[in-house]
Amino acid sequence: MSQDAPHKRDIRIEVPVLARVEGEGALELKARDGRIEALRLRIFEPPRYFEKFLEGRSWREVPDTVARICGICPVAYQMSAVQALEQAFGLESSEWVLQNRRLMYCGEWIQSHALHVHLLALPDFLGYDNAIAMAKDHPEAVHRGLALQKLGNDLIRFLGGRSVHPVGVRVGGFHHAPSLEDARALGNRLEAALDDAEALVGFTAGLDLPVDEQSFTNVALRHNDDYPMYAGRIVSDQGLDISADDYADHFVESHVPHSTALYSHLDGQPYLVGPLARLNLNLDRLSPRTRAALDATGLTWPSRNMFHSLVARAVELLEALQEARRLLEAYAPTDTPYAQVEPRAGEGFGATEAPRGILWHHYRVDDEGKVLTARIVPPTSQNQARMEEDLRQSLEAFGLHHDDDALRLRGEMVIRNYDPCISCATHFLKVRVDRGEE
C-alpha cells in the first residue's frame, strides 16, 4: 500500500490478552479511512465478589479483608472502609488518628508513584522496552525509583505492621502507636529524599512528552486546607460539589456487553480521576516548595494534556514526602491509638484519594455491626470509559497511517497514563493489523 493513500488503509487490532492485569483484559480496535470505527477495552475476568464476601462479616474483619483487593494500594481500601464504618457507628476519630491515617496514606502515594514513574512509564520516554533494559544506561533513574518506593513501603510498615496488605489499621484508629525513635529515624530518611523528589519534577517535565490536548471532566476530592488524600468533598471542574454520601446520586455505574468491569459516568459522560485531575483541581493546595518546583517547569496548569499525568505523579510524590516529613516532626506516641467502637445499625460512606483516584465505599450494617450490604467503586473502574475515549482521540490524533509498532506503543502509553493495574506489563499489546484497499 502506498504511503500517499493512508485513507485506504483498514486496521484491525486484536489483543486477546493484556498481560499482568489485576484481572484479565483485552483491546480490540477497528479503523477505516483514518477513523476508528470501533474500540473496546475488554475486561473478561470473572467477578471477584469482594463486596459479597463482606456480607455477614463483622465490622472488625472489614479493614483486613478489603486490603486484599489490591496489593499496590491496600491502604486506600482500608481508609475508605474505616471512614465509612465510623460514620455508620457515629464515631468521631481523634486528631491523632486522623493525622496518622494521612501519614500512612503518604507512604502509599510515595511507593505507588515512584514505581509508576521510574519503572513503568519512564522506559517509554527514554526509548527502552522495559526498566531492565533501561537500567543498563540509566542506573541512577532505577536506583532512585527503587529507593523512593522502599521509603514509601517503610512508611506504610511504620503504622501498618507490613507494607503489603498491612494489618495495623482498625475501625477507630490503629492497633498500636509506633515509637518516637522509629518516627525520628523515618523522618530523617524522608528529609534526605526531598532533593531527589524535587529534581524528579523537573526531570519528568523535561522529557519529550507527546502533546495531546483533550477535553475531559476532572473529578477529585477537595479539602478546606490540605492537598486531598484522606478527606474532602467530591468536586469537578463542571461545578460538582458533593459529600461522599451523595456520590450515587450523580455517578452511575453500568454494564457494557464487552466487559465484566463496570463503567462509571458522571451525568452520562466519562470523567477523569487520578493525579492529573487532582492537581488540576487543587493547585492552590500545594505546599510552597512543591508549587515552586511545578512553576519552574514552565508548563501550563491546569493541563489538558493527558501525558502530563507523569509530571502530576512526580509533583504528588514530592508533596507526599513533605507532608509525611511534617507529620513525623509533630508525631508523639499515644496510649490510646484507637477509640472504642460501639456498633449500631446504620449506613456509612467513605471517599479517599487512592494513588489512581477516588475510591468510594458504602456499607449498611446491622445492630451488631455485621455488614448487610457493601459497595466499592475503585478508580480504575471510574476511568475505564475515559480510557476508551482517550484511546480513540489519541490514536486518531497520532495518525493511523503509522506502522503497527508505533500504534501499539502509543496505545500502551495512553493506557499507562492512567496507571491501572495493567501498567506492570511494559509491552502488553501484541498488535495484529489487517490491511486492505477498497
Helix axis angle, 309-329 to 139-160, nearest 10°: 50
Phi, psi of 216 (to 5 degrees): -155, 165
DSSP 8-state class, residue 269: B
Binding-site residues, in ranges, read 51, 70, 73, 376, 421, 424, 427
Contact 85, 66 (CB under 8 A): no
Torsion of CA 150, 97, 177, 352, to 10 degrees: -30
Percent composition of the chain: helix, strand, coil (DSSP 3-state, to 5)? 45, 20, 35
Question: Is 85 exposed, middle or buried, given 0-12, 13-18 or 19+ CB atoms closer than 10 A?
Answer: buried
CA-wise closest residue to 87 among 372, 369, 378, 373: 369
Binding-site residues for Fe cation, in ranges, read 73, 424
**Nearest-angstrom CA–CA distance, 324 and 320:** 6
Any idea which residue has 524535587 for its cell?
198
**Nearest-angstrom CA–CA distance, 290 and 147:** 20
Binding-site residues for Ni(2+), in ranges, read 70, 73, 421
**Nearest-angstrom CA–CA distance, 64 and 412:** 33
Any idea which residue has 493489523 for its cell?
433
Binding-site residues for Mg(2+), in ranges, read 51, 376, 427
Phi, psi of 47 (to 5 degrees): -55, 145
Contact 28, 140 (CB under 8 A): no
Contact 291, 199 (CB under 8 A): no
